[in-house]
């Protein structure tokens, strides 16, 4: 999936499914994987439709991805996982 993540980062703020598919193929994504089904399910993680039924996408803002991250942390905690983050603390000498 690194190819698709690289592709989404290269896309402008507003793009179409066709533009994304072309860029993904250019980055090495196999064209045969695009024949039956496009990459809309992947794109939905990182962008919203410009309007219902549209093939135009607008990237989600960082606040939306932060909310998604918080939801994932809560989900993992509910499953019993402990989530840890590094903390640096400065102490006066």
The pLDDT tens digits of the residues spanning 20-60 come to 999 999 999 888 888 767 788 888 888 888 888 788 998 88
Work out the average pLDDT over 64-76.
76
pLDDT for 85 equals 83
Mean pLDDT across the chain? 85
| pLDDT band at residue 63 using 50, 70 and 90 as cut-offs | low
pTM (2 d.p.): 0.61
| pLDDT band at residue 67 using 50, 70 and 90 as cut-offs | low
Give the number of other Cβ atoms within 10 Å of residue 46's Cβ.
19
pLDDT for 33 equals 82
Q: Nearest 5°: CA angle at 64, between 62 and 26?
A: 65
Please state, in angstroms and as integers, the Cα–Cα distance from residue 19 to each residue in 2, 25, 63, 85, 88, following that order. Answer: 18, 10, 25, 37, 43
Every domain of the chain and the residues it spans: 2-78
């Amino acid at each position: 999936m690194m190819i698709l993540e690289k592709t989404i980062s290269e896309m402008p703020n507003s793009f179409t499914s066709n533009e994304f598919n072309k860029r993904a193929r250019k980055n090495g994504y196999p064209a045969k994987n695009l024949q039956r089904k496009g990459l809309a399910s992947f794109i939905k993680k990182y962008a919203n439709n410009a309007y219902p039924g549209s093939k135009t996408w607008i990237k989600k803002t960082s606040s939306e991805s932060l909310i998604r991250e918080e939801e994932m942390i809560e989900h993992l905690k509910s499953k019993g996982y402990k989530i840890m983050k590094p903390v640096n603390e400065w102490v006066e000498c």
